[in-house]
Structures are given as C-alpha cells and as structure tokens.
Copies of this chain bind each other. A is one copy, B any other.
C-alpha cells in the first residue's frame, strides 16, 4: 500500500513532498472512529466518506471528499469520524510532524488552519441545511453540490441512497422520492440511479439556496 513518494512542486501541493501515496479499495477504511488522528490525507482520486455513529446507533455522514480535498483534520487528538473509501481511491498521506519538518512549522500550520477552516465552514453550512431546509431543498442542494464538484456534463454519484440519506438527515425512501420529484419536474435527468445531468440549474439553485 505504501507505494512511492510522489515528487511534485511543493509550492502547489505541499503534501507531495512530505507524504506517501496510498491506495484504498472500495469499502476499505482509511481510519476508524476514535483512532488517534496522526495522518493528514489529500485525496488524489476517488471518493471518501466520513461517518460517525450516534449513541442510539443512528449514523451521521460527515461529508464526502473528492480529489484535492484534505481529510483527517479533526477536533482534538482522535478521529471523531471514520473514513471509508466509496470507490477505489488514492490519497497522499502525511504525518503532521513530517509536514512541519518538510515545509516549516509556519507553512504546515497554515495548511492545517486552512483545511480546518474549510471544514468548519462546511459544517456550519450543513447545520443551516439540516436546521432550515425541507427534504426537497436538501436533495436539490446535494445534487447541485455534486454537480459543481465534478464540473462534468454527466455527474456521477459515488455514494448510495443510504449515504445521501444519512448525510441529509432523511430516510432512503424520502431521498428516492425527492429525486423522482426533481426528475419529474425536469430539473435533473437521471440516466442511471447513480448518474445524472442538471437540466435546470436556475431552478435547482433556487430550491437549494
């Protein structure tokens, strides 16, 4: 799994000079909940999901991570979420200590602060969605986010309906119904249950915003 140290310009991708490329098969765990958080990961390809279990067994998805995203930032010393590969994927992993050694403390701190800040903003936006939005609005926003992430005509959803449901605080049936509804209304067009195209971005944005 520890294949090679990727040689890349450090100015652009700080992970390259301090990290190790790792590959994970679909379904494999990058790290577990409550495990010490030592490594930071930058996703290179594929998609990763973070999740945590509530005391009553219900699951909350923290987020979905795509190439370029930094993963492994956690509040405190231990991972509050588990991370699992949704597709086969590769990531550059770097211990915090090595980042500091290679980049200098200041740059390493800046890197971590930026990642933490981005995660925080994401969490805040998610709070707003869960606190204020209807099922239809949540799904609309989710699909739009996925589309914006991939900037491709045909958007691929690497996660299943259950993952979407747990992310949005809904049930799998409701997610499915809302997708059907958006489809019927002509806002999106699902070619298969995991791929779609955006048909009416304006209406979708109006719903999700």
Contacts and interface: CB of A to CB of B under 8 A. Distances in A.
A75 B109 contact: no
A118 interface: yes
Contacts of A131: 60, 130, 166, 168-169
Interface stretch (A4-12, A28-36, A51-59, A144-152): A51-59
Interface string A53-97: 011101110100000000000011000110000000000000000
Copies of this chain, count: 2
Given A109-B113, A116-B113, A116-B116, A130 B76 contact: no
Contact of A127 (B56, B76, B109, B126): B126
Given A109-B113, A113-B109, A113-B113, A52 B120 contact: no
Contacts of A121: 75-76, 80
Given A55-B209, A124-B80, A132 B169 contact: yes
A128 B54 contact: yes
A117 interface: yes
Contact of A117 (B81, B109, B116, B168): B116
A122 to B, nearest CB: 9
Interface of A: 52, 54-56, 58-60, 62, 75-76, 80-81, 105-106, 109, 112-113, 116-121, 123-124, 126-128, 130-132, 166, 168-169, 209
